[in-house]
Structure 1
Amino acid sequence: MTAKRTGRSPAVVDPVARLMVDVPLAHLDRPFDYVVPTELAEQVRAGSRVRVRFAGRLVDAFVLERTAASEHEGRLAFVERAVGEPVLTPQTAALFRAVADRWAGNFVDVVRLGVPSRHAAAEARGSEPAGAVEPGERAGFARYRAGGSFLAAVADGRPARAVWSALAGEDWPHRLAEAARVALSAGRGALIVVPDARDLARLDLAFTDVLGDGRHVALSAELGPSERYRRWLAARRGAVRAVIGTRAAAYAPVADLGLIAIWDDGDDLYDEPRAPYAHTRDVLVLRSAQARCALLLGAFARTAEAQLLLESGWAHEIVADRAAVRAAAPRVQATGDDVELARDPAAAAARLPSLAWRAAHDALAAGHPVLVQVPRGGYVPALACVRDRTPARCGTCSGPLAAPSRDARAQCRWCGRPAPDWACPTCGGRRMRAMVVGSGRTAEELGRAFTGVPVRTSGGDRVLAEVPAQPALVVATPGAEPFAAGGYGAALLLDGWALLSRADLRAAEETLRRWLNAATLVRSGGQVVVGADAAVSTVQALVRWDPAGAASRELADRIELGFAPATRMAAVTGPAGAVHELLDAAALPTGAQVIGPTPARGEDERMLIRVPRPDGAALAVALKAAAATRSARKAADPVKIVLDPYQLF
């Protein structure tokens, strides 16, 4: 190894920096060696961000290590300059590499997810170290079998792994804060991830209440770049050992992890839309194994992925006895059960059958608010032909037609064009009807049914955080249900068929998750009415409040059909020729099943590759190698590779 002649001299000690250049091309996802000049010897360290010349351009790079020599036989270029303080730790660098390898991605793509943009002003500010945390009460988990044992393992630094089924009405932010306190009092770090900003705000208040001020930081995309980097640096410098946050916080540089937890892992906000498209839950499972620390998956519902961790023996349950479950859960009835159909034969077709009306009336009369969950926002988000129910589509872009208000003309939800001359392509009819009723029209209908009662809506860009404990009807879309002081008197879960009939592998699982999350907001002794057929297994799981049984059945069905998480799948999407070129170049594992092609957005197509779980790593390696081959050849058409896609079609 020799340095290029530039008038600069190499550092005396460990003159070679092995680094990853920030160029997101698959064939360049490997370390490159550069010479550290004498004047940068103290600034260029493992984990540093630097600038180097690469292919004639000045690019960012991340230093993995300093070494005494290079195996490269030619001349090496010098590092141009150092940029700020180190941003990688050995642990996060290993995590970034593992995530990139598991999901057939690039190291620098994962770094972009986990390391925020640099702000020099934030680096110039110091980080005050947080004080010690004293052990606290652990009574919150005493209601659950194995809850105390899990916290004892966290206190001892053992890598316990658990799936926690929270009781209805559980104050889950305080339970997670108490678990984090156990880890902190043992001298280790804690990392808690939640789906959205509303959940993070609740968790932030709970952590402040349990730990006190200044002992944790909250990370989210809603923070300004400077403030986010300042908080992230506090964790990187070790000033705080507890980090809470949304999706990207899964990569936060928490030192000496003792506990990792994720709340409501079935929420689709954990599905990462950026390469390499790794689900947050799976990243945290991988990270807990690398760090050999405790892992807690908590939720009111349960995913098939969490159930697989239990049935494989990798994790254990934290659940309450059935008596405690029945005491905490509200009373749930389906409008389509035999008793109600006998009393009200029209209940199966009515949007607000007599059972739902009675439940709402009684709760309002008792002085409590009533939650009304509807699957879709807007007024009428989907229209169809009156005669034959053919979905109404835009003549320009084929987008779905919708009615934004009672008096407005139908218009396209995609391009916004009005459709005054629409005609059914099947029968020629020109009259349309509502396929799905949105929250706006629901609020209008309820306002007429319950005169004098305030009606509030929550959803879209107007999400309410909380409503007062007084009579009101609160119409919300799934995930936007506000909290009510003291709990709702009743909850009406309308249009269950619209959730259950979605063309989605996760339709039943997601429907139960949405229903349970809404039902748990109802006060003890309150009533939940679900507008669906009582014979459907998902409805029965809600009535019995049995997320574990539903998850077990869901996993069994997935195993029988060969779908995730029983197998590992990859979705390869792009122009037809490019997709086939990549698959032809991939040395797929023996027995890999190729499914497709199926149409994707625009003119693209999608192919699915399915392998047994033990062959998942080999599948990732094969697809990554094929992508590198195309990248090195400078193939024009891009191909998107997603392993373990959250949605298949």
Structure 2
Amino acid sequence: MAGKATTRRGERVPAAALSVARICVDVPLPHLDKLFDYRVSTEQDADAVPGCRVRVRFAGQLVDGFLLDRVEESDYGRKLSFLDRVISPEPVLSPEVAELARAVADRYAGSLTDVLRMAIPPRHARVEAKPSPEPAPLPAAPPTEGWSRYPYGPNLLDALRAGRPARAVWQALPAEDWPARLAEAATSVVSAGRGALVVVPDHRDLARLHEACVALAGPEAVVTLSSDLGPSERYQRWLAVRRGSVRLVLGTRGAALAPVRDLGLVVVWDDGDDLHTEPRMPYPNVRDVLVQRAHLTGASFLVGGFARTAEAQLLVDSGWAHEVVASRDALRAVAPRVVAVGDHAWQEVKDPAARSARLPTIAFEAARAAFAEGAPVLIQVPRRGYVPSLACGTCRAPARCRRCAGPLALPGGTEDGVPRPAYCRWCGATEAAFRCPACGSRRLRGQVIGARRTAEELGRAFSGIAVRTSGADEVLSAVPSGPALVVATPGAEPTAEGGYGAVLLLDGWALLGRADLRATEETLRRWMTAAALTRPAGRVVVIADSALPPVQALVRWNPVWHARQELAARTELGFPPAVRMATVDGAPEALASALEDLRLPPTGEVLGPVPLSEDGRKERALVRVARAEGKALSEALATLQATRSARKDPEPIRVKLDPLEVL
């Protein structure tokens, strides 16, 4: 049994061979992001294997750590302390994951400890003591007919089955059964005796993918890893993967670092979804992690989606990956008929029912036609709630609370027959006597009508039709066939049996008008994800100006063209992914000091700082360099944080490399 290493006299004797252990201690301080040497005793010799968990005395305290390697000699130059104990001889940290974690930490100017916390779940001794099941028999090679609509699809599966490295950016057709296609790609690798890892944005996508993979490979050959599992269950599944009992691993964001044996394929679906970015330091993105993993292991790489990000387009333009795109003839056979209606069309609505439902006539007719065919209709609304944000009814200035300057909103509903007054979304105070500080008007108007209010209005316009809502409070996974109105916020759209007869995309200006570098790309992704749920040749109506590039890309169903335009624009303006960029946030004094200490490569440039809050207590600076010097930028930012940590600067700063939010 693993324990403290002492002899009968209380003395510790070093192991006869490889008595020095290289330990990554669990101390979240940037200046301590390195390995420390400890001595291994004879009693610990058998249990202290590379990858095991240990406990050591560090700076006078007992801390946990991972044993990464054992060597004969140390270059420390002083007497080494012994390991306090080996917590468990289970080698939970594989060399491949350790190398990947180091690469991810270096890319995002983070520490190895932060990445290992994401990679390795907490230990459960009872689970660890149980044996994992024997590996399932290899499944049969899956059919390739589903990929035949893509000119290079069968070639991709042939390469995966033969073990040849393949790197591809897959553009899924509308109404594509993407879980089945990804299951076929993953099972092609598993059938040849190698491991496959597929990462999707959320649990609903994971459930669909799991069902498709089980149908091809069998339930024993597939395991899912996600944050909604209990700690014990997640550790049990994770251990089965680490021990090689399961070759096909599916999961959400955290599974990108799963210890899959003999990895042959990594896949990320819908890489533009913000759920693929880790909210904890060092904020890695799944797509970039899997690119690093494919590069380090030689595994094949596949990124797929209905839309395409500028980052995925850069992989194609650089020659690192190849496109898997259907022909235009195949696209025309299944693409929905998309119609764009500008905001000016609201003034031309003559149908009273359409006006009450805040729908233009063409959208109203598309919904009626879908109901006549016995199909449900999906309506995408950018915001949840009733009226999530308010503005002055006269000058359109944002309506804010008199007490804390927070945004005002309408809760919806009535109280004793009287509509409930506006309230502050920050402090919760009621604002019954609003007066605009800019023009003095007392009128309020909704900037965006929420999903709940939209559902109420549509319920009155389409009497006798069931209305369902899907949003933050309750997200539906699927709806049955038959006439129904489904009002959903972006990302919460349920699938429909047989597909939707029509999809109506409302308030496009609210998505396109956001002050965000990725606003148009993200808007198109949300639109195409919803529009892809229609039946083949279904109808899609988008409320937005038809002259805008993302609207044109949707109408023509050409996300590749939009991704190329987006990448060209960012290259010209000097924004990611054409360059490497970081945001540095902090108090004004701390930020000024940090920028003064930062040593940038030759192409380095600092933009700002600019205030992040109205009180000026927090500011943000943008730091960018040429893409070729991205590694130097990461090293400079890591050195900056280590220096500030070593001298114990009281004011923290936050560094994010390649962040989603730049503006």
TM-score calculated relative to the size of structure 2 = 0.95
Quote how far apart the aligned CAs of 1:404 are: 1.4
* 1:260 partner SS: strand
2:115 to 96, 110, 118: 110
Distance 1:168 1:174 in 2: 14
Q: Which amino acid aligns with 2:303?
A: L
Q: Is 2:411 aligned against 1:404? A: yes
Answer yes or no: is the 8 Å Cα contact 1:165–1:299 preserved in 2.
Answer: yes
Q: Among residues 530, 535, 540, which one is paired with 2:552 in the alignment?
A: 540
Code of the aligned partner of 1:19: I
Is the Cα contact below 8 Å between 1:265 and 1:297 reproduced in 2? yes
Aligned letter for 1:353?
Answer: P
Instruction: Tell me, in whole angstroms, the C-alpha distance in 1 between the residues paired with 2:634 and 2:361.
Output: 54
Aligned residue for 1:134, secondary structure, equals coil
Q: Does 1:373 align with 2:377?
A: no
Residue among 385, 393, 400 paired with 2:400: 393
3-state DSSP of counterpart to 2:535: strand
Deviation at 1:341, TM superposition (A): 9.3
- Asked whether the 8 Å contact 1:335–1:341 carries over to 2, the reply is no
How far 1:583 moved relative to its partner?
Answer: 2.1
Residue identity matched to 2:283: Y
8 Å contact 1:118–1:229 — kept in the other structure? yes
1:334 is matched with which residue? 340
Letter in 1 for 2:566: E
For residues 55-96 of structure 1, the C-alpha deviation after alignment (integer angstroms, 9 at most, x for no partner) is 000001111101111111111111011122111101000000
1:177/1:207 contact within 8 Å kept? yes
Aligned partner of 1:101 in structure 2 is: 106
Which of 13, 20, 23 matches 1:19? 23
Shift of 1:392: 0.8
Instruction: Decide which moves more: 94-103 or 424-433.
Output: 424-433
Q: CA deviation at 1:339?
A: 11
Does the 8 A contact of 2:166 with 2:300 survive in 1? yes
Match of 1:612 in 2: 626
Q: Is the 8 A contact 1:192 1:262 kept in 2?
A: yes
Residue in 2 that maps onto 1:71: 75
Distance 1:451 1:490 in 2: 18
Q: Could you tell me how far apart the structure 2 residues matched to 1:337 and 1:296 are? A: 39
SS of the residue 1:463 aligns to: coil
- Give the 5 Å matches for 1:622-633: 622-633=636-647
* Equivalent position to 2:654, from 629, 640, 644: 640
Query: Which amino acid in structure 2 is aligned with residue 56 of structure 1?
Result: G
Q: CA deviation at 1:104?
A: 0.4
Q: Which residue of 1 aligns with 2:294?
A: 288
User: Does the CA contact (< 8 Å) of 2:349 and 2:360 recur in 1?
Assistant: no
Q: Which of 605, 618, 638 does residue 593 from structure 1 map onto?
A: 605
After superposition, what is the alpha-carbon deviation per residue over 1:237-283, rounded to whole angstroms, capped at 9, x for unaligned? 01111111000100000011111000000001112110001111111
Partners of 1:151 and 1:207 in 2: how far apart? 15
| Residue matched to 2:473 | 461
SS at match of 1:214: helix
Whole-Å separation in 2 of the counterparts to 1:355 and 1:290: 52
Bigger shift: 343-352 or 518-527? Answer: 343-352
1:159-202 per-residue CA deviation (whole Å, 9 max, x = no partner) reads 21100000111111111111111111111110000000100011
- Whether contact under 8 Å (1:119, 1:229) holds in the other structure is yes
Which residue does 1:193 correspond to in 2? 199
Contact 1:381 1:402 in 2 (8 A): yes
Distance 2:477 2:427 in 1: 31
SS of aligned partner of 2:650: coil
SS at 2:213 equivalent: helix
Calculate percent identity across the aligned residue pairs.
Answer: 57
Q: CA deviation at 1:337?
A: 10
Query: Partners of 1:343 and 1:78 in 2: how far apart?
Result: 80
* C-alpha deviation, 1:645, in angstroms: 0.9
SS of aligned partner of 1:557: helix
- Whole-angstrom distance in 2 between the partners of 1:306 and 1:345: 44
1:213 is the counterpart of 2:219: yes
Q: Deviations over 1:138-162 (max 9, x none)?
A: 2211110211111122122222110
In structure 1, the partner of 2:36 is: 32
Check if 1:524 corresponds to 2:536.
yes
SS at match of 1:552: helix
SS at match of 1:462: coil
> 2:132 is matched with which residue: 127, 133, 139?
127
Aligned pairs, number: 647
Secondary structure at the counterpart of residue 143 of structure 1: coil
Deviations 1:507-537 (A, max 9, x none): 1111111111111111113211111111111
Quote the Cα distance in structure 2 between the aligned partners of 1:318 and 1:472: 35
Higher deviation after alignment, 128-137 or 87-96: 128-137
- Asked if structure 1 preserves the Cα contact closer than 8 Å seen for 2:270 and 2:303, the reply is yes
Which residue identity does 2:312 align to in structure 1? A
Task: Summarize the Cα distance change of 1:568–1:257 in structure 2 as closer, same or farther, 3 Å threshold.
Answer: same
Q: CA deviation at 1:615?
A: 0.5
Q: 1:431 matched to which residue of 2?
A: 443
Q: CA deviation at 1:596?
A: 0.5
Distance 2:265 2:324 in 1: 16
Counterparts of 1:430-579 in structure 2, within 5 Å, are 430-579=442-591
TM-score, with length taken from structure 1: 0.97
Q: Deviation at 1:428? A: 2.0
Structure 2 Cα separation of the partners of residues 414 and 15 of structure 1? 58
**1:291 to partner: Cα distance:** 0.8
The one-letter amino acid paired with 2:650 is A
What amino acid maps onto 1:617 in structure 2? K
Displacement after TM superposition at 1:338 (Å): 11
